[in-house]
Structure 1
């Protein structure tokens, strides 16, 4: 087995009150407190005690998940292992990957994703947009399905998550049309997601342009580890190119299937999910069955992954 491995950072949907409580190392609490100090509000307390309604607000979720991913990354670094061959993150997780790679300062990234969440929440009024998962159609079929929408409004692929699972974003009437016509187009099911923000579609172009203004004044270094970007599954070393990728990421789809497939084809044998939850590990098993995927959300996962790399 190849010793090359990748660390992957999850995005929204992986958060929960008490996340990472399966780790007893003080680095976790220290990282959450460092995030609280940088942001000027009690992120550590919100993660520890909730309430879930507050943690699930986009502008709170994003810095909380970034802090959680960096907390686990710091634990991983403490294991004295060979460096990963690459890093990647799903949506918000791309920012966490850039912090881990040394491209973004932790405090800068926390404030950046807090703003990102605020801009996303403000971009589309409650009840106007949303997202739905299309299950059982390949990527091209989902693209054609969206293109057939006869009404006004946006309907676009947003997350190419795994073969046969594509998340679509857009206006609510368009999503309702999608649901009503899914079976006739061959979809096994269409599931509306509990998200009011239609991420990674053109409805967020204005929010992305405002985020670009902050990105322009944020220091970005050359990554010390390759980071594969959601936009096109390729890495970038130039600050201007990274800024452009982060700008476009907000209104263009996340190409997760492509990212994992290309990493596997590059000789990556192991993938470790660096943060709370097991969402990415589940997707990876559908994209590349021969890729070993382990979630690092608790001490058992960390020990299993560490042993795998050392073997």
Structure 2
């Protein structure tokens, strides 16, 4: 049996066609219930979107966000119901923070999915009014990237959006300024500059235009005190209480994701390992490259989930003959 796992929930970009198809086949009762609940909360055909729809149908941010949360929540519920899983602490990468707050009892699943649906709609609205872009820069110190963003500011908004790991930082903003920082970074010795396939400039000040409207949605939603430690991707520190959680979700829209700080904070807890719960393996990759001497696992496919369920279940105690 394994316990005290730091449990990480992924964000946008982890979606893929059929990402919950194997889940529904192997765990129909639990996964069917979660997807039905998600459909009721969002008004979207999430069972089809998460199991049989082509990847293009998942691309719009207002679809991708609830689909990822629904799939991550379905996996979490399988682990909880079939193996009694309880994390030692939780965190989510941007969007994934909503799933983390569900796991910690801060948000009810239906409320979180409703918020995520509205979050995606508002973000999509920004993309229709701003020519935005995001680029991942590899092999350059984040402090140097911050300097390059300042140098390119005359061309428009460009800011650090994600501090993912020591060797990967994502920038976001207006297209011309983002492109210029990518060019400057390569000239200054960055290993790579990879434009991301996103529909909006997430986690930069361009998103501040939707903060007030989303804050009103948050105020209408019930929040509760965390029942287990939640490390916020906004601050890299613990979520203190329900009011703090609500404020962090507002600040998250235009603020950077501080994932390096999240992993550093988690390591201070002496966790027994790191577990990514959701589609994809991006966060487990960050953990593998950031945290030394700790097991890292994911739930990217049925084989990994089955192995994890075996290891999570209490082992029978041997008795003397």
Task: Name the TM-score, length of structure 1 as normaliser.
Answer: 0.94
Work out which of the residue numbers 52, 64, 84 in structure 2 matches 1:61.
64
Q: Does 1:38 align with 2:41?
A: yes
Going from structure 1 to structure 2, the CA distance change for 1:132 and 1:40 (only over 3 Å counts) comes to same
Equivalences for 1:195-210 in 2 at 5 Å?
A: 195-210=198-213
CA contact (8 A) 1:160 1:253 kept: yes
Work out which of the residue numbers 175, 179, 185 in structure 2 matches 1:176.
179
- Residue deviations 1:204-257 (CA, integer Å, cap 9, x gap): 001122111100110001121211111111122422111111100110100111
Aligned twin of 2:127: 124
Distance 1:133 1:71 in 2: 29
User: Secondary structure of 1:228's match?
Assistant: coil
Work out which of the residue numbers 211, 228, 231 in structure 2 matches 1:228.
231
- Residue deviations 1:51-90 (CA, integer Å, cap 9, x gap): 3222111111111111111111111112444621101110
Task: Name the TM-score, length of structure 2 as normaliser.
Answer: 0.91
Aligned twin of 1:269: 272
Any gaps of 5 or more consecutive residues in structure 2? 316-321
Any gaps of 5 or more consecutive residues in structure 1? none
User: Secondary structure of 1:14's match?
Assistant: coil
- CA deviation after TM superposition for structure 1 residue 308, in Å: 4.5
User: Secondary structure of 2:71's match?
Assistant: helix
Q: Does 1:213 align with 2:216?
A: yes
CA contact (8 A) 1:9 1:69 kept: yes
Work out which of the residue numbers 239, 243, 247 in structure 2 matches 1:244.
247
Aligned twin of 1:18: 18
Work out which of the residue numbers 301, 304, 307 in structure 1 matches 2:304.
301
- CA deviation after TM superposition for structure 1 residue 262, in Å: 1.7
Distance 1:124 1:65 in 2: 20
CA contact (8 A) 1:22 1:297 kept: no
- Residue deviations 1:108-157 (CA, integer Å, cap 9, x gap): 11111111001111123366101000100122121122122152311110
Aligned length: 311
User: Secondary structure of 1:157's match?
Assistant: strand
